[in-house]
Structure 1
Amino acid sequence: MPNKTTERSYGQGAQGEPNSTQTSKPTLWAKFRYSFDNSIAKSGMFVTWMLIFMVIFSILLVLIKSVLYVTPFITNPGTPVTFNFETFWGSFATLFGKGGEPTWAERIMGFLTWMCTIALTGSVTGFIVGAITRTFDRLRKGKSAIIDNGHTLILGWSNRIYPILKELAVANQNVRKAKVVIFSDQTRDFMEDEIEARATELGKLKVITRTGDVSNPEDLKRTNISNAKSIIVLDADNAGDANVVSAVLAIKAVNPNPNIRIIAEVDDANTGEALTTATNGQVITVRSHEIVARVTAQASRRPGLAAVVLDLIDFDGDEIYFASVPALAGKTYADALLAFNEAAVIGYVDEHGVAFVNPAMNTSIPNNAKIIAIAEDDDKVIYTGIKEEIANTPVTAASRAADPAESLLIIGWSSMGRTVLNELSGFLPKGSTVHIVAQSRYVDPAELADLKFGDIQVT
């Protein structure tokens, strides 16, 4: 008798892949649930389904009513049940606004109608409430477009946004309806809560927040870039310059207008120079870490200098302004010093954007140059004419005594250390020494290697 053998499966193909998984055919109910789940997400389909369910419920109620009304027991108003149950039913029916029907058929139909009405009303009410909630949530997400004009646009988010807002508030005290638009990837609730907590006393400055991708041109279209007064691109903390470059490219893609000034914060000097060159000077790059390091270097030698620098660069008190004064073209820098009653001239900027701070007294001011002056406000930089009697008075230059060597102590070390020492090297007298104290567990010894800065001795 031949042995019965079982067919052996070796898989599929030459590589012995496993047999394909057998999938069961979806049931009719599964297909309906799948279609219902997909369609309910579409706008307006909920109302359509509610109408369908109302038709189905109405048909069911008609069928139930037909059955009830052909049953003698529940259609005879004189049929007794029990006194206790009648009392219970009267009390129970009162709770949902029913009761008083003469027959049990009408009582049952009234109760079923009430249940269907409550279910449908609750569903429709829930749908309306959900739609309103979604609308407000969408508005809270900050996805609507900006229609304001003449606003200052800030792209990105970092801790430096708070002092920027405070300075803009001071600068726009005399501006009617001054507005600042902040566009970043942070949520609108987060930005508004942080600004309210950390940037108080903004005065009349109106701050508008929107959420989106600063490197996406389609998102940037919502910020009304074409009508912005100026644009500030912030470098997110520890994010590098890639995001800043992407944001600048997105700005140029949306609005190629070269007249809108773009101030971009960068870390790398080469990146900043490349952005300025590629945009023909439209992008003004700022290296905040370098500025802090250079001010720190000068303040370490001159106590109180940091307060002076802060007073000049903020909008409170006196500030630095640029003014075109055609009458000074061809005049000397010494003449310009005496040509303003309410402003102090400290230099000029030529037509190529090169600044000359405190040049030689006999330096001739070129055509199309702008005067750099310190004044209380820009309307104080008014040319009042050269006072010849003072300009022709001879001035004897005083001799300067040699400065003694200095010794500086630096406690701790960071990436700004080399910038600080490089700034100091041009001002410290010959023979000065700098001693650095840092813990090796926090500082890589390679960072302290090859610290050579002119005649300064670093230990």
Structure 2
Amino acid sequence: MGQRRTPFGDRARYWFDSTLARGAAALVGWMALLCLAVVVPTSAVLVWTDPDAPPSLADRLAEVWRLTGETLRLGGATGTPLRALMSVLLALVTLLFVSTLVGLITTALTERLTSLRRGRSTVLEHGHAVVLGWSEQVFTVVSELVTANANQRGAAVVVLADRDKTVMEEALSTKVGSFGRTRLICRSGPTTDPAVLPLSSPATAGVVLVMPPDDPDADAEVVKTLLALRAALAGAEPRPPVVAAVRDNQYRLAACLAAGPGGVVLESDTVTARLIVQAARRPGISLVHQELLDFAGDEFYLLSEPSLTGRPFGDALLSYSTSSVVGLVRGATPLLNPPPETPIAPDDLIVVITRDDDTAWLDDCADLAEQAAMASRPSTPTPAERVLLLGWNRRAPLMIDQLHRRARPGSTVDVVAERGEATIRQVSEADADSGNGLSLALHHGDITRPETLRHLDVHSYDSVIVLGRDPVPGQPPDDPDNRTLVTLLLLRRLEEATGRELPLVTELIDDRNRALAPISPGADVIISGKLIGLLMSQISQNRHLAAVFEELFSAEGTGVRLRPATDYVLPGSETFFATVVAAARRRGECAIGYRSHDDSSTSPGYGVRINPPKRERRRWTAEDEVVVIGKD
């Protein structure tokens, strides 16, 4: 059987493809032939159809050549073959020079634009805020810095992270929204490289914030970034203040050493665990913390007030009509809620909560306190508590430790989590150290399955805490929230079936999922990354507040508490808020606000009012609560 003959079209196509594969020279040759195949016949048609065309064939061919040369910029000289060839050579040299020059200019502009798009140019700013690293806290920090700089001209925030510049700008624009007067500048590069950090000009910055990345080795990378920052700032004086956050307490000392004497390092997991436990014991406390920490409401300020020198601290509580006094800073030591008889020293700074640094002025309100409206009953003792912990992550052992520290005899904690060696070991270790004050039990089950929750008498617990898993590398960062939302949906169904509201506290990673959470108005939602971002933003504006927050959120220190209003004023009485402040002073506490029961289901504040005017008069109900700074 004879060999089948390849069609001519296929052979021609294969030959054409083979010539193109030889490189740029073959491509240029084919382009020249294609141009000539179009231009020469078209020029001939133009010449032969021209009424004024020369009569002789030689002259017409010369005219065709001239038109072809003008069209292809190959020179149009006619005459002897040598003359035509020289004109073509000159045209080719000119074409080569122009095309090379255009190519060089285009390449240079492309490289420059690419470099700008990649964020590889050095920032020339002074007094700006530098944010190093990328995590969920970035959006909160940038948003708060924009709010803090709302009244400042020329403010700038520089974000340096090992991500594409355009991607960072789009993400920040989407989640933060308008930047107002603040200019956002993004630069790309690893934050652990001392040669890259100068892109953000940290030496001329007003503050540097180091974000813990969303990966298992976040703390080690924070320490390495701080070391790289120290190397990049070598010889720079004065150095900008540094604010950083680590997850594990074991890394805090190393991070503090790397940050230097002026650095502030927060423990994100410890702070989050404490706030979740506080919210479990007193629903609504998370709303108070958010009001105190974001720049949109009232904030902490340090004031020097010589006119109060020598007077007892208790007098200062009613010396400001639009500000709430909560303590003193003596030297570098914060004294939150000191005894009322503590004298104010000449160098003491007064810690106040106020709208702005220019809204705290002296205005004696002592005469507004009405003794007849004050309650005189003792504080209600805290009973034993039953806590249900649904889910497990790295912060769960810290929460159990916090529950153990203040547990009353007979208190119990039931943990429901899937089987896992780490979970069993950590719960067993916590149980071994819990002593007689707290009974701890571990139950295995998938909290996203309805049958698991149906077998639990969830309404018998004083508080229910829902935790998401730790993020897994390679999975979407909000994957733990997806499971948490499923659990919350099942719990909401149990609430609707029984008609009873659960005392629920849940932890979410992404603040955008808060609007999706199927929870009752009385439930507390803790956005772990947002709280740390708010803290870092506050300290970045005044690093002297770091010691105040350290005391405020410490395990055994003076903190924010929600107390029944009946501990301070008689139910049904109508009186000034100054009366509540005076009653709290008598109990050794600083009253800073209240939560109205009638508005507890109305967003956005859900009844929480921080730093109300002392002259505000309202009727107090038995279900209202008072926000105080004090101890348990």
More displaced, 102-111 or 210-219? 210-219
CA separation of 1:295/1:439 partners in 2, compared to 1, >3 Å: closer, same or farther?
Answer: same
Query: Which amino acid in the other structure matches residue 399 of structure 1?
Result: P
> Which residue does 1:206 correspond to in 2?
183
User: For 1:154, which of 109, 131, 136 is the aligned residue?
Assistant: 131
User: For 1:243, which of 221, 231, 234 is the aligned residue?
Assistant: 221
User: For 1:271, which of 251, 254, 258 is the aligned residue?
Assistant: 251
How far the C-alpha of 1:95 sits from its partner, in A, is 2.7
User: For 2:72, which of 87, 96, 99 is the aligned residue?
Assistant: 96
Q: Over the residues paired in the alignment, what is the CA RMSD in angstroms?
A: 3.2
> Which residue does 2:602 correspond to in 1?
none
> Which residue does 2:379 correspond to in 1?
400
How far the C-alpha of 1:396 sits from its partner, in A, is 7.7
CA contact (8 A) 1:336 1:386 kept: no
CA separation of 1:218/1:277 partners in 2, compared to 1, >3 Å: closer, same or farther?
Answer: closer
CA contact (8 A) 1:325 1:383 kept: no
Could you tell me how far apart the structure 2 residues matched to 1:410 and 1:397 are? 37
The equivalences for 1:38-437 within 5 A come to 89=65, 92-97=68-73, 98-99=75-76, 101-238=78-215, 239-253=217-231, 254=233, 257=237, 260-276=240-256, 281-353=261-333, 355-384=334-363, 387=366, 397-437=376-416
Query: Which amino acid in the other structure matches residue 404 of structure 1?
Result: P
Could you tell me how far apart the structure 1 residues matched to 2:396 and 2:285 are? 19
CA contact (8 A) 2:222 2:255 kept: no
Q: In structure 1, list runs of 5 or more residues that go unmatched.
A: 1-79
CA separation of 1:390/1:126 partners in 2, compared to 1, >3 Å: closer, same or farther?
Answer: same
CA contact (8 A) 2:223 2:258 kept: no
Report the 3-state secondary structure (helix = DSSP H, G, I; strand = E; otherwise coil) of the residue aligned with 1:101: coil
CA contact (8 A) 2:320 2:362 kept: yes
> Which residue does 2:547 correspond to in 1?
none
Could you tell me how far apart the structure 2 residues matched to 1:443 and 1:212 are? 36
Could you tell me how far apart the structure 2 residues matched to 1:325 and 1:276 are? 33
More displaced, 216-225 or 141-150? 216-225
CA separation of 1:438/1:381 partners in 2, compared to 1, >3 Å: closer, same or farther?
Answer: same
CA contact (8 A) 2:226 2:258 kept: no
The structure with the largest alpha-carbon Rg is 1
Q: Which has the higher contact order (CA 8 A, sep 6+)?
A: 2
How far the C-alpha of 1:165 sits from its partner, in A, is 0.6
Query: Which amino acid in the other structure matches residue 448 of structure 1?
Result: V
More displaced, 203-212 or 432-441? 203-212
Report the 3-state secondary structure (helix = DSSP H, G, I; strand = E; otherwise coil) of the residue aligned with 2:429: coil
Query: Which amino acid in the other structure matches residue 124 of structure 1?
Result: L
Could you tell me how far apart the structure 2 residues matched to 1:374 and 1:149 are? 30
> Which residue does 1:447 correspond to in 2?
426
How far the C-alpha of 1:369 sits from its partner, in A, is 2.9
> Which residue does 1:9 correspond to in 2?
none
Query: Which amino acid in the other structure matches residue 168 of structure 2?
Result: M
CA separation of 1:418/1:272 partners in 2, compared to 1, >3 Å: closer, same or farther?
Answer: same
Could you tell me how far apart the structure 2 residues matched to 1:389 and 1:361 are? 18
User: For 1:458, which of 421, 426, 440 is the aligned residue?
Assistant: 440
Query: Which amino acid in the other structure matches residue 331 of structure 1?
Result: R
Could you tell me how far apart the structure 1 residues matched to 2:185 and 2:198 are? 15
CA separation of 1:323/1:169 partners in 2, compared to 1, >3 Å: closer, same or farther?
Answer: same
Query: Which amino acid in the other structure matches residue 286 of structure 2?
Result: A
CA separation of 1:401/1:199 partners in 2, compared to 1, >3 Å: closer, same or farther?
Answer: closer
CA contact (8 A) 2:310 2:346 kept: yes
CA contact (8 A) 2:391 2:416 kept: yes
How far the C-alpha of 1:367 sits from its partner, in A, is 4.9
> Which residue does 1:73 correspond to in 2?
none
CA separation of 1:368/1:99 partners in 2, compared to 1, >3 Å: closer, same or farther?
Answer: same
More displaced, 343-352 or 136-145? 136-145
How far the C-alpha of 1:328 sits from its partner, in A, is 3.7
**Residues 241-285 of structure 1: per-residue CA shift (max 9 Å, x gap):** 333233333444415546632111112324324544676741111
Could you tell me how far apart the structure 2 residues matched to 1:269 and 1:324 are? 34
Could you tell me how far apart the structure 1 residues matched to 2:60 and 2:258 are? 93
Paired positions, count: 379
CA contact (8 A) 2:321 2:365 kept: no
Identity rate of aligned residues, in percent?
A: 28
Could you tell me how far apart the structure 2 residues matched to 1:279 and 1:86 are? 82
CA separation of 1:240/1:120 partners in 2, compared to 1, >3 Å: closer, same or farther?
Answer: same
More displaced, 327-336 or 344-353? 327-336
Could you tell me how far apart the structure 2 residues matched to 1:148 and 1:242 are? 29
More displaced, 118-127 or 245-254? 245-254
Report the 3-state secondary structure (helix = DSSP H, G, I; strand = E; otherwise coil) of the residue aligned with 1:335: helix
Q: In structure 2, list runs of 5 or more residues that go unmatched.
A: 1-55, 442-632
CA separation of 1:81/1:281 partners in 2, compared to 1, >3 Å: closer, same or farther?
Answer: same
Report the 3-state secondary structure (helix = DSSP H, G, I; strand = E; otherwise coil) of the residue aligned with 2:107: helix
How far the C-alpha of 1:167 sits from its partner, in A, is 0.7
